[in-house]
Copies of this chain bind each other. A is one copy, B any other.
């Protein structure tokens, strides 16, 4: 299990290298979130709560691992200043069968969206705006 909260850029392909190898793994799922350049976005600034962030993510990752019997799980989330096209975060899950790997990755994404202490600010031609939480993201937690 690997959890990283960092300012530096990462590469999904490089992170997946060797991920889940050695275990009894038949399925690997990865999700990567990318900064979209819509609406003239110049950059995104991500603020976080050091300490609480790492602990919250480690707890979600542990829960996903136990609940879906994952062979491995990886979460990386960035903070700081990002430009369109850059990866914001990724999760990866490795399990015996595909359904567990997909469900665990979606579970992690749904929790990260609404329960990991990050806040996004979009900076564009029209100024700065804090990204508002979406009701649908809150609702998504109900299925777990």
Contacts and interface: CB of A to CB of B under 8 A. Distances in A.
Q: How would you classify the secondary structure of chain A's contact residues: helix, strand, loop or mixed? A: mixed
Contacts of A29: 29-32, 105
Interface stretch (A1-9, A13-21, A47-55): A13-21
Contacts of A98: 31, 33, 109
Interface of A: 11-17, 20-21, 24-38, 85, 96, 98, 101-102, 105-106, 109
Contacts of A96: 36
A5 B28 CA distance: 20
B17 A28 contact: no
A7 B101 CA distance: 25
Contacts of A28: 12, 30-32, 34
